[in-house]
Amino acid sequence: MKFQTVCFVIIVKTGFAAGQDNLAFPDGFLLGAATASYQIEGGWDADGKGVNIWDTLTHEHPVFVDDAYTGDVADDSYHLYMEDVKQLKNMGAQVYRFSISWARILPEGHDTIINTRGIDYYNRLINTLLDNGIEPIVSIYHWDLPQRLQDLGGWPNIVLAIYTENYARVLFKNFGDRVKLWITFNEPRIFMGGYTSDTGMAPSINTPGIGDYLTSRTVLIAHANIYHMYEREFKQQQKGKIGITLTGFWCEPLTPDFTERCERYQQFQLGLYAHPIFTGHGDYPSVVIERVDNNSKVEGFTTSRLPKLTSEEVNYIKGTYDFFGINFYTAQVGLNGVVGGIPSRERDMGTIVLQDPNWPVSASSWLRVVPWAFRKQLNWIAKEYVNPPICVTENGFSDYGGLNDTNRVLYYTEYMKEMLKAIHIDGVNVCGYTAWSLIDNFEWLHGYTERFGVYAVNFDDPGRPRIPKESAKVLTEIFNTRKIPERFLD
Ligand SMILES: *[C@@H]1O[C@H](CO)[C@@H](O)[C@H](O)[C@H]1NC(C)=O
Ligand SMILES: *[C@@H]1O[C@H](CO)[C@@H](O)[C@H](O)[C@H]1NC(C)=O
């Protein structure tokens, strides 16, 4: 099966003609499911893999993770990947989004030592997918930095922009003949938080408003390095596409008076990464630059905490995309006001966000069910960034387990309906959707207490069988009929 490039053709805005089926997915739209290496693979020290920052966090700071769980075994996908592919095939998935564990390929972080058994593992996975007619979408970095690179300071150290490029080159050389869709980074806006607090996600470094912004600059340059290197060295032959996956949290103004605050929220959360890459102007959003500069001055910093991009770097980063990856789960209500420590990104942003207590809850404190916000967020991206091809790389719902996951079924069908309105009625160029997540997995600081899978996994059973939940059956129906079943009509 060849990758369907029609996905990246602008979908012409047709308006919504009477009788047109707006519950159906357009031709070429890619449907599938997603996972990430640390959350599913296990095999944390198998076959020459190096240690990464999540191994370190879970081993050295077990109190940071609910129930002191680790990803040492997780779903054991390192050994059971064929089970994962079997479920994808059963569902009729066209694509599978997974990430590569950097330290499994380069145990020391740099490319002088390449772990061929790590390469073999991903070759087996990719080949099994292709044999089953499933296209891989590969995230190059999904949060599991080799510890050896953290020892150099991690993402705040700009030298990582070069190490990341060299790592990505190893991936293109080894897998690029078969992998045609690449995501450089997954949600930098979230993993930069690893440098915001010493009780947060890995590597848990307490440099709020400083280390996190340094991370932004390194990530943007690393992303552009990878994009340009692929263009120079691989694209002509391999003909793949490269994007980045960013985090969408819709901000709904409490009243129209709060609209500007929500705009600012979007610029601080999404624009920090999207504006330099996806706008014609490039660079960080001006509101981010001005506010961080101003706050830095007031706080007594001689130099702004926001590491500036030179005009050369601005031009180098601008336009380095083939598609816009977005992970979308939920929304917040935005109010005026300033909160957060001095210094902090929160204070720089100067918007207070809350969740409406009337919105249905999930097992995750941050995730309430707000389907209409999905359509608004997709429209916001289309307007702000001139309708780029969008891939929804994550969307999903957490509960505490159980096979009859009625709330997850409702979540998926309601959110997909809103996405289809964005496509058919609003003309937003959405080209694919991968549900988070294929299987229950290690949910970072929440361990196995929150379940996102459409397949259940019993983490007490050494065989880790994958059991379809009700949601897996509904997604199977959707993937096969390519439409939302009539019974989910309003
Ligand atoms: C930054 O400070 C300058 C000078 O005090 C002021 O004119 C400007 O409005 C401030 N910008 C923001 C975004 O607050
Ligand atoms: C699943 O739960 C819903 C209500 O939550 C119930 O109506 C339905 O009968 C249940 N289905 C099964 C198969 O148990």
Nearest ligand to the CA atom of 298: 1
The set of catalytic residues is 187, 394
Task: Determine the residue of 260, 264, 290 to mutate for testing ligand 1's pocket, defined as the one with the most ligand atoms within 8 A of the Cβ atom.
Answer: 290
Cα 55 to middle of ligand 1, angstroms: 43
The listed CATH number (3.20.20.80, 3.30.70.1290, 1.10.3720.10, 3.50.50.60) that belongs to domain 2-249+319-330+368-483: 3.20.20.80
Q: What is the pLDDT of residue 21?
A: 76
Return the pLDDT at 20: 52
Q: Are 342 and 193 in contact (CB under 8 A)?
A: no
Q: What is the model's pLDDT at position 9? A: 42
- Spacing, Cα 213 to ligand 1 middle (Å): 20
Whose CA is closest to atom 8 on ligand 2?
404
- Ligand 2: which residue has its CA nearest to atom 14? 404
Pairing of strands 181-186, 135-141: parallel
Does pTM top 0.85 for this prediction? Answer: yes
pLDDT tens column, 129-183:
999 999 999 999 999 999 999 999 999 999 999 999 999 999 999 999 999 999 9
Mean per-residue pLDDT for 441-453?
98
What mean pLDDT do residues 56-64 have?
Answer: 97
Nearest ligand by distance to the CA of 297? 1
pLDDT, position 489: 87
Reported as a single tens digit per residue, the pLDDT across 376-414 is 999 999 999 999 999 999 999 999 999 999 999 999 999
pLDDT at 17: 45
Which residues have CB under 6 Å of ligand 1?
287, 290-291, 294
**In the prediction, which pLDDT does 410 show?**
98
The residue whose C-alpha atom lies closest to atom 3 belonging to ligand 2 is 406
437 prior amide bond cis, ω within 30: yes
| 66, pLDDT greater than 70 | yes
Q: Using one digit for the tens of pLDDT, what is the confidence trace for 269-327?
A: 999 999 999 999 999 999 999 999 999 999 999 999 999 999 999 999 999 999 999 99
Ligand that comes closest to the CA of residue 469: 2
User: Mean pLDDT, to the nearest integer, of 423-445?
Assistant: 97
Provide the mean pLDDT of the chain.
95
How confident is the model over 334-340, as a mean pLDDT?
Answer: 92
263: Cα separation from own chain's centroid = 21
CA dihedral for 205, 213, 374, 390, sign (positive or negative): negative
Of residues 289 and 21, the one with the higher pLDDT is 289
Pocket mutation for ligand 2, best pick of 399, 400, 404 (most atoms within 8 Å of C-beta): 404
